[in-house]
Amino acid sequence: MVNANHYADKRDVYLNGGPGAHAPPWAAGLPDGNYYFQVTDPSGKKLLSMDPVYCREFRVEDGVFAEFVSIGRDYIPIKGNGNGNGKGGNGDPVPCHIPGWEHGQHDLGWNLWANSLTIQLMPYKDTPNKGGVYKVWATPTGFFVGDPNDVDAGYSPGNFHGFIPAHSKTDNFKAKRGPPKPTPEIEICKFEDVNGNGEWDVGEPGVSGWAMYVTDPLDVTNTYYTGEDGCIVIDASVDGIYTIEEETQSGWSISATIVDGMPISPTTTVDVDVNYRMSLRYSVAFGNFHEFRVSGCKYNDLNGDGNFDGGEPTIPGWTVTLYKKNPSDGWDWYAETTTGDDGCYEFIVAEGGEFKVAEEDRSGWVHTSQTSFTFTGTSGVDQGPFDFYNFQCFKVSGYKYEDMNGDGDWDEGDDGIEGWIVTLYKKDGLGAWQVYATTTTDSNGKYEFCVCEGGEFKVAEEDRSGWVHTSPSYFEFTAVSGVSRTFDFFNFELGEVCGKKWYDSDRDGTKDGDEDYIEGFKVELWKDGSLFATDYTDSTGEFCFYELGPGSYEIKEIMPLAPGDYWVWASTYPAGGTWTFELTSGFFKCDANFGNIVEYTGGLTWGYWKTHTGFDSPPRDPAYDLLPDYQMSVDVETSDGDYLVETDEEAKWIFDGAGDYPANCAGTCRSLFRAQLLALHMNWLKFGDDFFGATYIYQSDSYSGWTVEEIYDEAIWKLINEDSDYDFTSFQETLDRINNNGHYDPGSHVLVMPEAPPIVYP
């Protein structure tokens, strides 16, 4: 409460808030209110203050001395007690300030630094203590016991002249007076135990302004504050137990207690047994460790580079553990926490040592940064941030489909392909693709890779002969933590169409064993309405089109030049003469065969020859001019008496007779048969030997496969040799078909070339 511990003169002593120039004015720790003060010897038994208690009142406001209340105050002396210096008596007021007293009564000063009042302790008597030690007391007016108008309320154990220790604050000081009695001192220090090892190591600083509570043997507690070097020295003028307790401050923990240079178990309260005969110097040092924080955050390292990039999120709920190294250099569990909603963690550590902070291992995640950090715990020095980065594994998967229609999309019926190779590549530092992993599709066509790192990747399917890609053959992507990728591949197996071309000599649309294949025949493949490819049949009659993609196809045969004026190539198989198909994946057709025949297009009916004899309106056909040289034998006597038709007049007679059935018919339709045979003869005269050499093909006819000449000869023989009852009906139908041959559509002529002629194109 006084401004120093040692004074040259007792008149220099003022109440100013606490001991030492470094103490703030509120250091006395007096609550706001009114107080009395007194001066005694160190034991407190001898009162040294000379004026009445009523004249020693002051007021504390906001923790500082704000007013000396007794200035200008009168008191009522109590007669017989000597409290008025012989002046006044009961009932007569006397001024507290009496001129003539040395230095005046309770002179005032002002602590400019703290803007607080200082109060001189005078007047008081010299201390009987040989060391010149005084004790100043302050007690709340409400706890004073006795009459404040009196100088001395008397001494009794526990009552020091009206001042009760439990309610009082005291402070010792020295003022020179004769030879001093040795007074023990207690040095109290406060240091920051920087490394937390419980010792005051070289370089560890003292802590100034730290409150120390000292309770003396009289059970009076005073507060002192450590100086700039962290220490303060107090007088221990009264032998006995001094209890020294350091202030407890938030964030600090006791780590060292050193008494007279010897460490003891760390405690904030120490008893010092003072005996000036044993020692004049005692010391207490408290070491404190300022708590520090260990902190950091847990990041989802989206690109897997081990660094924080903008937008990378933190991960809540991740376990982080703090370990401390033990004397055996092992690590002991110290504390554990989980990252908060913000993905960050924090430990508060209140001791030194070697520490390690480590993150948990979590399935499906890989570390992209350090998994642990070690550090030395230092008082008040926060550690970190120790950030952890992890990359979450992801899948690259998809299916390999056979794209049946080749549209590059999945459709009903597009099934997965088993055993297809899929490769995952990663780009290296030089920008080149390196194989990362390879797999094959399963029975459902599925593939899958597990990737646990960032970077640039490419997934690609194999190229397989005979197959084409209908979707991209590879996909590039940048890996993102925890983001799986799906890429499907679609492929189309190229188709193949082959066939053979044969000479269908019997026109039945079926390749018979004795029918030959045709070499050099031109075949065109059309796709989606446009010519796509051309091929020619080989020596075996075969043509092929390979590596065909999806689409609508048509195979057309291109007919070669006819071998003469009355010949034409015709198709016998397939119906319509073309193949059409929709080509899907894996389409293989090896039987796109073509049957062909060369047809004869000549031939005129007996009705034509009847009307073109020149006796009717149509003009006469010049073929009649050949009759005299190429007569036809008949079974009836002609106009000149023979059995030969050799003029157009005789021809007309035959034709007209056929119209008079049954006049000239000996058998069923014999006259009509005779007319059909004459027409056959005239067709030979008109069209020549090609007509006679043609083969007659009509599947249900017994003469099918005969040449026209063979049929002609057979007809002459039957006409001459068969009796009148012979039925010519079916035979005349044969002749009728042959004569009518020129009127049939291509592909339907009944006269054909027996063997394929050489193939000639323009």
678 token code pair: 């004459």
231 token code pair: 């220490």
Domain termination site, one of 471, 492, 513: 492
631 CB-side CA count, 13 A: 12
Give a yes or no: residue 321 inside a domain: yes
Give a yes or no: residue 522 inside a domain: yes
Give a yes or no: residue 584 inside a domain: yes
How far apart are the C-alpha atoms of 119 and 111, rounded to whole Å?
A: 10
Give a yes or no: residue 585 inside a domain: yes
In this structure, how many other beta carbons lie within 10 angstroms of the beta carbon of residue 670? 26
Same domain assignment for residues 22 and 65: yes
Round to the nearest angstrom and report the end-to-end CA distance of the chain.
Answer: 135
Same domain assignment for residues 398 and 476: yes
How far apart are the C-alpha atoms of 531 and 548, rounded to whole Å?
A: 13
Same domain assignment for residues 208 and 247: yes
Closest CA to 18 of 10, 32, 29: 29
How far apart are the C-alpha atoms of 210 and 259, rounded to whole Å?
A: 18
Same domain assignment for residues 171 and 218: no
Residue 90's pLDDT is: 55
In this structure, how many other beta carbons lie within 10 angstroms of the beta carbon of residue 330? 9
Same domain assignment for residues 164 and 24: yes
Domain termination site, one of 492, 517, 550: 492
Which pTM was predicted? 0.60
Same domain assignment for residues 617 and 712: yes
CA distances for 448 relative to 78, 408, 455, 487, angstroms: 108, 21, 18, 10
Residue 673 host element (H or E): helix 670-687
In total, how many domains does the chain have?
Answer: 6
Closest CA to 102 of 122, 87, 85, 72: 122
How far apart are the C-alpha atoms of 672 and 368, rounded to whole Å?
A: 107
Mean pLDDT in consecutive groups of 10 residues from the start of the chain, 762 residues: 74 66 60 93 92 91 86 74 44 67 43 64 87 92 92 90 92 73 89 95 95 92 94 91 96 95 95 89 96 97 93 96 96 97 97 96 95 96 97 97 93 94 96 97 97 96 94 96 97 96 94 94 96 96 95 95 94 93 93 96 94 90 96 90 93 81 56 93 96 95 96 95 87 95 94 95 92
Give a yes or no: residue 180 inside a domain: no
Give a yes or no: residue 572 inside a domain: yes
- Tell me if 288 sits within 8 A of 301, measured CB to CB: no
Same domain assignment for residues 516 and 540: yes
How far apart are the C-alpha atoms of 326 and 356, rounded to whole Å?
A: 12
Same domain assignment for residues 58 and 150: yes
Give a yes or no: residue 677 inside a domain: yes
Name the 3-class secondary structure at 750. Answer: coil
Closest CA to 162 of 150, 141, 146: 146
CA distances for 195 relative to 200, 254, 611, angstroms: 10, 13, 139
In this structure, how many other beta carbons lie within 10 angstroms of the beta carbon of residue 687? 23
How far apart are the C-alpha atoms of 51 and 107, rounded to whole Å?
A: 13
Same domain assignment for residues 448 and 517: no
Same domain assignment for residues 158 and 24: yes
571 token code pair: 């198709």
26 token code pair: 């509120």
Domain containing residue 400: CATH number: 2.60.40.10
Q: What angle do CA 34, 139, 215 make, to 5 degrees?
A: 140
DSSP assignment of 145-188? -S-TTSS---EETTEETTB-GGG-EEEEEEE--SSPPP--EEEE
Give a yes or no: residue 762 inside a domain: no
- Tell me if 204 sits within 8 A of 379, measured CB to CB: no
How far apart are the C-alpha atoms of 521 and 536, rounded to whole Å?
A: 5
How far apart are the C-alpha atoms of 348 and 291, rounded to whole Å?
A: 7
Residue 64's pLDDT is: 84
Same domain assignment for residues 11 and 126: yes
- Tell me if 48 sits within 8 A of 127, measured CB to CB: yes
DSSP assignment of 311-380? TPPB-TT-EEEEEEE-TTS-EEEEEEEE--TTSEEEEEE-S-EEEEEEEPP-TTEEESS-SEEEEEE-TT
How far apart are the C-alpha atoms of 153 and 36, rounded to whole Å?
A: 13
- Tell me if 272 sits within 8 A of 244, measured CB to CB: yes
Residue 180's pLDDT is: 55
Q: Where are the beta strands (DSSP E) in 441-513?
A: 446-451, 456-461, 467-469, 474-478, 485-486, 489-493, 495-503
Residue 265: exposure state from Cβ atoms within 10 A (0-12, 13-18, ≥19) = exposed
Same domain assignment for residues 385 and 417: no
How far apart are the C-alpha atoms of 519 and 501, rounded to whole Å?
A: 8
How far apart are the C-alpha atoms of 593 and 380, rounded to whole Å?
A: 96
Closest CA to 135 of 231, 240, 19: 19
Domain termination site, one of 447, 470, 492: 492
- Tell me if 724 sits within 8 A of 731, measured CB to CB: no
Residue 212 belongs to domain spanning: 185-287
Closest CA to 648 of 677, 608, 679, 614: 614
Name the 3-class secondary structure at 676. Answer: helix
